[in-house]
Amino acid sequence: MSKKEYTVPGFKAGAVAAGIRYQGRPDLALIISEVTAAAAGVFTTNKVQAAPVLLSRSHLTGNRARTIVVNSGIANACTGESGLQRARSTAQIVAEAVGCPIHEVLVASTGVIGMDLPLEPVSNYLPKLVSSVRDDGWLDAARAIMTTDTVPKIHIVRGLLQDCPFTVLGIAKGAGMISPDMATLLSFVATDAAISPDALQALAREETDRSFNRITVDGDTSTNDTLFILANGFAGNRPIENLDSSDGECLRRALGEVLLKLAKMIVADGEGATKFVEITVKGGSGQAEALLAARTVANSLLVKTALFGEDANWGRILAALGRAGVDLDPQRVQLFFNEVKLVEKGRAVGGDAETKVSKILKESSFSVTINLGQGKAEETVYTCDLSLDYVKINANYRS
């Protein structure tokens, strides 16, 4: 898709190279709604929460906002009262430049923990940025929020609500510190659909749970994870109040697709990742058990290094299931790579199954399906392999 096609009525976006920590690349992004929009936020569950998370949470108490300002390079986490003041000053600078109350500014940061966020680049470059945001500036914003990401992440869905065309557009960044319960993951979504703030917040939570909370790169969660959704009502539909209505379902499908697509892009671009793997656990004795089993497999270092080695090491998958703390009878377990059954009744099926699976493992994307044979629950999580590059990237991140 060309940059021109990434637009949402009533929104502008853009980015600038402010030199906050990176040199010669955009690192400050801005998203502005022409009018005050319904706003929803979902934040990290980590007890160590970055200053922008604390500030934005307080700004969202009314569930309305006009603008989102984001910097990459420095996370403004573990920076105490001074960090909170710097986040507040950033919001103040934006509020003045945009001409809105400070509580309508949402702030997010990503990057190194523990370093002070310099305010000079923000105050120097922000006014320029406010005047340069454009309808089709979303891809620039998606690039500016990258840290160790190798590609910008953007997705757009268009649909109809009561015969009114509407759009949902999202951008995201991820790469490392990615685990269920949100991660060093920022995602910003804009829609022109009209929806009540309460319904939007409920929808944000539910769809986050089906997308970003189903992915894992390394099992670590971050101090800065943030999803913001702004809905400015430019589509002209009657505002959605009830998520179970057909309009609610329609917006849910569009938003769900955007979030899941972005979540999968984050895993596929996980630090050092060479494989995107969909792990489905069927036959669980309950949803929580199926999810826990899938997450334990998806986070196992031994499974992830075997995936990197293109080794159909099903024994490690069984060993991970065995320590997951779920109901398990090894004799009942079936295991598939794509459609090929490799394990039946807890044992390798033999024959040419391993040869077929070896071919599948050479692909860059495939699925692992485990049937526990305990019940009817099914859950899927998305993960990547653990490569030499993951270690290289994270051994040298601050240098």
Residues in contact with its own copies by the rule CB under 8 A: 45-49, 75, 77-80, 112-114, 176-177, 179, 181, 218-223, 299-302, 305-306, 308-309, 311, 313-316, 318-323, 328, 330-331, 345-348, 386-388, 390-392, 394-399
Q: Provide the token pair at 71.
A: 């910097």
Based on CB atoms, which residue is closest to its own copies, 54 or 119?
54
Taking the complex as a whole, how short is the minimal distance between the CB of residue 262 and its own copies, in angstroms? 22
The residue (of 63 and 222) whose beta carbon lies closer to its own copies is 222
- 226-231/186-191 β-pairing: parallel
Tell me if residue 184 is catalytic: yes
268: helix, strand or coil: helix
CB of 223 to its own copies, least distance (A): 5
Query: CA 249, 255, 259, 260 torsion: positive or negative?
Result: positive
Residue 168 near residue 47 (C-beta atoms within 8 A): no
**What φ, ψ does residue 206 adopt, rounded to 5°?**
-65, -45
- Nearer to its own copies by C-beta: 48 or 151? 48
Which one of the listed residues 67, 184, 226, 369 is annotated catalytic?
184
Contact 333, 347 (CB under 8 A): no
3-class secondary structure for 317-333?
A: HHHHHHCCCCCCCHHHC
Cα 193 to Cα 11, 196, 331, distances in angstroms: 12, 10, 51
Minimum CB distance to its own copies smaller for 38 or for 75 = 75
Distance CA 229, CA 348 (A): 47
What distance in Å separates the CA atoms of residue 333 and residue 184, rounded to the nearest whole number? 34
- The DSSP string of 48-80 is S--HHHHHHHHHGGGSEEEEEEEEEEE---S-H
Q: Please identify every residue annotated as catalytic.
A: 184
